[in-house]
Amino acid sequence: MVKIFLHFKKSLSYKNAFSLLEMLISLAIFSILIVVISYIIVLNMRVANKVRARTYVREETSYLLKNLKKDIRNADKIEAFDINDDGVNDLVIHILTEGGLLKKRGWYIDGNRVKRKVIYSGGDGVIDIVTPEDLEIREFDFRLLEKPKNTIVLVKIKGWAVGLPENQSILKEVAVSTRIFEKE
């Protein structure tokens, strides 16, 4: 009888392991935590990608507008006509250089990219691609407001990039005035 009691006492002292129920409960709790943390990380990455795409579109459209505003402010004459033979009026800016050379810069949209065609007097046009490949310009529109001594150009640009939802675009509108010049 003493032997049985000692054996029972020995088995109680060696109970250092977890039971199956304890293991299942801890596994369930850790699984729920991992799923929640993973969801938060994925959500954070999606938001970061959208923010990155919006920032990229804003920066690239700002760069485009900066170059366009520079041309408009230096313009001697601004008009709207079809410079690239696609049936759509383009923004054409005439700039007289210091050497007396007339330079025309035609701003237009080709597919989903904004391009600038530069034509020197008596020469062929050279085309600059102003927007990068991964920036999709969905709208490039302008209006000319003729004033007695200058022209005001209203420009509207709508851009999109991968990372933004299909139905979201970044819209920028700006009004730029030419320098004051005497009309002919």
Residue 153 CA to residue 80 CA, distance in Å, equals 11
Range of the domain at 117: 40-177
**Would you say how long the chain is, in residues?**
184
169, 160 in Cβ contact below 8 A?
yes
b vs e for 144-169, b when ≥16 Cβ sit within 10 Å of the residue's Cβ? eeeeeeebebebebbbbbebbeeeeb
pTM for the full predicted model: 0.74
157 found inside a domain = yes
Q: Does residue 8 surpass a pLDDT of 70? A: no
Name the domain count of the chain. Answer: 1
Sheet with strand 102-110: strands edge to edge: 77-81, 90-96, 102-110, 113-120, 125-129
Cβ neighbours for 176, distance < 8 A, ≥ 6 positions apart: 68, 69, 72, 73, 152, 153, 155
Note the pLDDT of residue 169: 92
155 found inside a domain = yes
DSSP type of residue 103: E
19 found inside a domain = no
Note the pLDDT of residue 182: 60
Q: Does residue 62 surpass a pLDDT of 90? A: yes
6 found inside a domain = no
Tens digits of residue pLDDT in 151-169? 899 999 999 999 999 899 9
Note the pLDDT of residue 184: 52
The structure tokens listed for 78 are 């601004």
